[in-house]
Amino acid sequence: MTDEPTTPASGMRDFLPEQVARRNHVFDIIRDVYEGYGFEPLETPSMERLSTLLGKYGEDEKLIFRIMKRGQKLQRALDEDPSEDELADLALRYDLTVPLARIFAEHGNDFPRVFKRYQIGPVWRADRPQKGRYREFYQCDVDILGSESTLVEAEVISAAADALERLGFDDFRIHTNHRKLLDGMMEIAGIEQEMRSDALVAIDKLDKIGLKGVVDELDERGLSDDAVDTLMPMLDQGAEADSPPFDNQRTLQAIADQIEQTESGAHAVSDLESLFRVCEGSSAGRHLYFDPYLARGLSYYTGAIFEIRSDDFPGSLAAGGRYDDLVGMFTNQDVPACGFSLGVERIIDLMEERDMFDIDETPADVMVAVWDEDFAADSMAIARQMREAGLRADLYPDDDSGFGKQFGYADERDIPFVAIFAPDEKEAGCVAIRDMDSGEQTEVSREHAGEETARLILKARD
Amino acid sequence: MTDEPTTPASGMRDFLPEQVARRNHVFDIIRDVYEGYGFEPLETPSMERLSTLLGKYGEDEKLIFRIMKRGQKLQRALDEDPSEDELADLALRYDLTVPLARIFAEHGNDFPRVFKRYQIGPVWRADRPQKGRYREFYQCDVDILGSESTLVEAEVISAAADALERLGFDDFRIHTNHRKLLDGMMEIAGIEQEMRSDALVAIDKLDKIGLKGVVDELDERGLSDDAVDTLMPMLDQGAEADSPPFDNQRTLQAIADQIEQTESGAHAVSDLESLFRVCEGSSAGRHLYFDPYLARGLSYYTGAIFEIRSDDFPGSLAAGGRYDDLVGMFTNQDVPACGFSLGVERIIDLMEERDMFDIDETPADVMVAVWDEDFAADSMAIARQMREAGLRADLYPDDDSGFGKQFGYADERDIPFVAIFAPDEKEAGCVAIRDMDSGEQTEVSREHAGEETARLILKARD
C-alpha cells in the first residue's frame, strides 16, 4: 500500500455504475423534455479566463477555483508578485450564466432573434462540503434570450414542471412572484430605495423564520413600524398553499387595487395576469402558486421570479426568473432574458432517498459462458449474434473456469440469463439459455441464437 | 463593450447547438455499443489531489493544470514557500487511467472479480494548442480489470470495431502486436535491456519515417549493425496492409520458429495465436492486422498492443493494450488489465471533415404560432398537445408579431412546420399545419391536434 489516500478529494464524488445509471436517467429525461420545448444545447468550457469571472459574484468570489499559471508565466508571477490574482490565469466556471453571457457576446449574431438554450454540466465551487453540498456539482439551466413576453416565463416553468413530473414528482408548487410587485409594495410602504434589498432578504426568509420572524427582522433592519404595518398585509394575501388549483387571480385582485397606483406595481400586475392566463392550459398551470412573500435572494432578477417547493421536503427543487440586465454584461446591450435552473443534485438525492428510481440496473441482459479455449471463438461469435439482436451481452472473461464459477460470476453481477455452448450443444446445433432465477434452461438454435434469445428474454420479462 | 475578450480561453472550445448534437450523437453510439458488451460506467471527479497525479506522467507532468489553494492555506503557502507544488493542492485530471487506479484501490472490493468499465469524459492538458489539439478534450476509455485471458483483448477491440462501424468508419485496420514479441526479438538480436525502450521508440516511427529512417535511427541510438541486421527481417514479416482479410497466422508462423526460442517470444506467440483464433467470428476479425512494427510509445504496456489506423488519414483513431502493472499502483497489488481508448475528438473532427453526420439537426419538429395575446393560452395548450404526442414543439416566443414575422423566425431556425390557431381556425375548431417548404396548409382537429400533427409530420417525412 502507498500512503496516498484513494478517496476522492474533499467535496468530490466517485460515481459507481448504479449511480451513473441513475444520474444519466435523470439527465436524459431533462434533456428530452427541454428538447421537446425547442431548447437547443450549448456547451462552454470548464475553464474561463479568471478575468472573465472576477467581479461577477460579489462575496462568493472567494469560492472560485483558480488555476495556476504554468511555465515561464508562473515563474514571472512568482518572481514579481506572488499574489492570488497574479499566480492564476484561468478558473473553473462557477455557474453556467456568466459563460452564457460570454458566448452570447461572442456568437449572439449567429443565434436566432429569440434564443432558447439549455445546458447541463458541472460547475465548481470551493464551498465547505456538507451533506448535499458538493464542490463539483451539475447545474441544469434553461434560458430564453431576446423576448420580453410572459410567454417565455410560461415556457420555462412549464418545461420544468414537465421534467419534474416525468421524474416522478407530483405534489409540487411553483411559487411565483414579481420583483416589481415587491418594488411597488415597498414604494407604497414608504421604504427607501436603499433599504429595499435588506427588506427583500428578510421577506425571503418567511418559510424559514415564520411571519413573526420576518416582522422582527424588518424591525431590526431599521424599517419603521408604519412601513412594516403597511407592507405585511399586502404580502399576506397568498392563498393557502395546500390545495391546488390555487386561486391566483383572486390573490392578485386583492393586491391589485392598491398596488396599481405605482408604476412598478401596475407593470407587475399586468405581467402576472398575463402569465396566469397563458399558463392555464400548460403543464405549469396546476402547480402555479402566487406567493407575494417570494423574494429570491439574488439581486439580478428584474421581473417574474419562481421557486419550486413542496411540503414534503424543505428547500426548493428549482428556481429562476426574469433577469433583463445580466446577459448583456459583456456587450453593454439590453438583452431581455428569463432563466430557470433545476436543482438537479438535490433532485437526484431526493429520488435516492425516496427510492424513486425504477430503472433496469443489470449490467447485461445475458452472459455468454465459455466452455474452454477451443470453444472461445464460438462463444465470442454467439455474443456478437446477441448484440446484433439488440441484447446487451457480456462474454465470460476467461476460458479456464468451470460453469459453476461462471454462473456465480453472472449471479454476482445480477445478469439474469446465461448462454451455454458446450460439446452437447455443439453436437445438437443449439445454444442453451439458462434462466438464473429458476435454473431452467431453454434451447435456441445456434444459427439464430441472437433473435431467438432476444425473443425468449422479452417473453420472460412480460 | 467591455474590454474583456469573449472568445473561449486558449485551447478551449464553445460548442454551438449543431456541434453539441453531433458530439452527443457520437458519445451516445459509443455508450450504446459499450453497454451492449456489458461494460459498466464509472465516473470520477474532474479534480484529483495534486499528490495523486504527481509522479505518474514523467516529462508530461508539466502539462497538469494545478488548482491553487484557497484562503488560509494559500496565505500560508504564500508566506512560507510560494512554489509551484506548495501553492496548489488539487489538479485537473490528466487522463482517466490514474483515476481508475485510484477508484479501484478504493472500491475494488465492491467490484465483480473481473470488472469491465467504460468512462467518457473530459481531461485537461496544458499542451500548446494547435489544430486538432485542445486543452480540454474528451477521452473515451474501456478497461477490463482482473483477467489475464486474451478473451478480454478480443472484447475490447471488438467493441471498438463495432463502435467505429456504427459511426460510419469501415476501412480501418486494427494493428496488433505484442510487447513480449518485441522483447523476444530484441533478445535474439542481442539488444541490451537498457537499450530496448530506445529501440521501441525508433521502431514505432515506421509509418512516419519509413524503413530506412528506422534503421538510421536505430544506428544513431547506438545499436550494433549486427543487432539491426537480425532485428529488421523479423519485424519485416507483416502482410501487405491493403487487402483484408489479412493472413495473420501466416505472418505469425513466419516469426514463430525463431522467436519461440525465448520465453517472452513463446508467451507472445501463444497469446497472439489465441487472440487471432478467438477473434475470428468477432467484429474485430475482419480488421485485425498483425503488425510486428507496432511498438506504441507508452512504457506501461506488458502484452498485446493495438492501434486502429486507415490509409485514408494519418495517425490513429484508437489505441490500447494490456498493461498489467498499472492499476495496482495505489495498492501494490497485481491487477491484470487491458484497456482501449477511442480518440474521440479526432473521430469527431474526421467525421466533420468527411461530412459523415447524418442526423436531424432541426431544433424542433413544429413551431406553434401565436395570433395575439388572447390566443396565447390556446397556443400554449396546443404546444402541450404536440409535446404529449412526442413532437418537439417550439412556441413562438412573443404575442405581438404578425404571422409573416413568425414564419420568418421558423424559417431562420429551420423548423419545418408551423401550427396556426387564429380566429378562423378557432371558428372551425381546427389547427392549420403549414409545411414551410411548400407553403401548403393542412387542417387537423383542435381536439386531437397532437396526434394528428404527429401523423401528418411522420407521413411528410416518408
DSSP string, B366-435: EEE---SGGGHHHHHHHHHHHHHTT--EEEPS-SS--HHHHHHHHHHTT--EEEE--HHHHHHTEEEEEE
Average pLDDT of the residues in A132-146: 96
pLDDT at A449: 97
Average pLDDT of the residues in A202-221: 88
Distances (CA, A) of A456 to A359, A382, A444, A450: 21, 15, 9, 10
Q: What is chain A's mean pLDDT, rounded?
A: 93
Whether the model clears a pTM of 0.80, i.e. scores above it, the answer is yes
pLDDT at A193: 87
Is residue A233 predicted with pLDDT exceeding 60? yes
Q: Lowest mean pLDDT: which of A365-369, B60-64, B329-333?
A: B329-333
Is residue B238 predicted with pLDDT exceeding 80? no
**pLDDT tens readout for residues B345-371:** 999 999 999 999 989 889 999 999 999
Average pLDDT of the residues in A280-291: 93
Q: How many CB pairs under 8 A join A and B?
A: 331
User: Cβ contacts (< 8 Å) between B47 and chain A: which residues?
Assistant: 9, 12, 65, 124, 135-136
Rg (CA), chain A: 29
Is residue A389 predicted with pLDDT exceeding 60? yes
pLDDT at A4: 85
Q: What percent of chain B has pLDDT over 90?
A: 78
Identify the H or E element spanning B22: helix B17-36
Is residue A122 predicted with pLDDT exceeding 80? yes
Span(s) in chain B for CATH 3.30.930.10: 17-46+93-353
Is residue B292 predicted with pLDDT exceeding 50? yes
Long-range contacts of B97-101 (CB under 8 A, 24+ apart): B97/B141, B97/B143, B97/B326, B97/B339, B98/B48, B98/B52, B98/B53, B98/B56, B98/B329, B99/B44, B99/B45, B99/B48, B100/B42, B100/B44, B100/B141, B100/B143, B100/B327, B101/B326, B101/B327, B101/B328, B101/B329, B101/B330
Beta strand extents in B171-261 (DSSP E only): 173-178
Taking phi first (over 0 means left), then psi (-120 to 50 degrees means alpha), and beta for anything else, what does residue A132 get?
A: left
Is residue B240 predicted with pLDDT exceeding 80? no
Query: Distance from B369 to chain A by nearest Cα, in Å?
Result: 12
Average pLDDT of the residues in B165-189: 95
Confidence of residue A298 (pLDDT cuts 50, 70, 90): low
Confidence of residue A447 (pLDDT cuts 50, 70, 90): very high
User: Cβ contacts (< 8 Å) between B400 and chain A: which residues?
Assistant: 149
pLDDT at B298: 63
pLDDT at A2: 58
Is residue B242 predicted with pLDDT exceeding 90? no
Confidence of residue A261 (pLDDT cuts 50, 70, 90): very high
Span(s) in chain B for CATH 3.40.50.800: 366-461
User: Cβ contacts (< 8 Å) between B112 and chain A: which residues?
Assistant: 409, 412-413
Residue of chain B whose Cα is closest to the Cα of A15: B43
CB contact under 8 A, A68 and B87: yes
CB contact under 8 A, B43 and A381: no
Question: How many Cβ atoms from other residues are within 10 Å of residue B87's Cβ?
Answer: 25
Q: Lowest mean pLDDT: which of A234-238, A278-282, B186-190?
A: A234-238
Average pLDDT of the residues in B375-389: 96
Average pLDDT of the residues in B128-152: 95
At the fourth CATH level, the homologous superfamily of domain A166-315 is Bira Bifunctional Protein; Domain 2 (3.30.930.10)
pLDDT at B150: 96
Average pLDDT of the residues in A57-85: 93
Q: What percent of chain B has pLDDT over 70?
A: 99
Is residue A1 predicted with pLDDT exceeding 60? no
Average pLDDT of the residues in A419-429: 97
Residue of chain A whose Cα is closest to the Cα of B127: A70
The beta-carbon neighbor of B17 closest among A41, A78, A378 is A41
Average pLDDT of the residues in B235-248: 81
**pLDDT tens readout for residues A325-355:** 888 888 888 899 999 999 999 999 999 999 9
Is residue A438 predicted with pLDDT exceeding 70? yes
Residue the block writes with cell 411522420: B458
Query: Distance from B208 to chain A by nearest Cα, in Å?
Result: 30
CB contact under 8 A, A9 and B49: yes
Report the residue of A31, A87, A391 to disrupt the B interface, i.e. the one with the largest count of B CBs within 10 Å: A87
CB contact under 8 A, A136 and B45: yes
CB contact under 8 A, B149 and A399: yes
CB contact under 8 A, A82 and B83: no
Confidence of residue B197 (pLDDT cuts 50, 70, 90): confident
The beta-carbon neighbor of A4 closest among B51, B152, B412 is B51
Is residue B2 predicted with pLDDT exceeding 70? no
Average pLDDT of the residues in A407-428: 96
- Sheet of A136-145, strands arranged across: A40-41, A115-124, A136-145, A337-342, A313-322, A304-310, A173-178, A288-290
**pLDDT tens readout for residues A311-326:** 888 889 999 999 988 8
What is the rounded CA–CA span in Å between residue A453 and residue A365? 10
Span(s) in chain A for CATH 3.30.930.10: 166-315
Class of domain B17-46+93-353: alpha beta
Q: What is the CATH number of domain A366-461?
A: 3.40.50.800
User: Cβ contacts (< 8 Å) between A394 and chain B: which residues?
Assistant: 37-38, 116
Higher pLDDT, B367 or B310: B367
Q: Lowest mean pLDDT: which of A37-41, B98-102, B208-212, B258-262?
A: B208-212
State yes or no: ipTM above 0.85. yes
**pLDDT tens readout for residues B427-440:** 999 999 999 999 99
pLDDT at A210: 85
pLDDT at B318: 96
Average pLDDT of the residues in A134-146: 97
Sign of CA dihedral B152, B153, B159, B162: negative
